[in-house]
Amino acid sequence: MNKLCVLCVCVAIAMSVTGCSKTTVNPNYTSANPDLMRIGGESPETKEPEIINMGSYCLRVVDKWKLDGRTPDGQTIWSKDTFRNVIPCR
C-alpha cells in the first residue's frame, strides 16, 4: 500500500511538471527607452560628440554603442555608454 501511494505521488508530480512545460511564454524583448538599449539588427549609428555650455564650464558628451550580449533566441543586445568630460568653453 505504501509503495502504491509513493507511485501515485510521483506520477502526479510528473504530470504537473509536464503540464507546466507545455505553456511556455514567447519572450518579448523591448525597451521602454530605445535610446539606451536596442535588440537585434546592426550597431546603431554613433553620433558626433556634443558640447554643452553649462555657464562657467562646458561638457563634452560622447555616446558609444557596444555589443552587450545576446538574447536566448540569438538576437544581439546593444547598450549605450555615455561619457562626459569637463572642457574649457570656446
Q: Assess whether pLDDT exceeds 80 at residue 5.
A: no
- What is the average pLDDT across 59-88? 91
Mean pLDDT of 65-88: 90
Q: What are phi and psi of 40, to 5 degrees?
A: 80, 170
Place of cell 560628440: 49
On whether the pTM is more than 0.85, the answer is: no
Task: Measure Cα distances from 41 to 11, 45, 86 in Å.
Answer: 46, 11, 33
User: Each residue of 37-46: pLDDT tens digit?
Assistant: 888 888 888 8
Q: Which residue has the cell 554613433?
A: 46
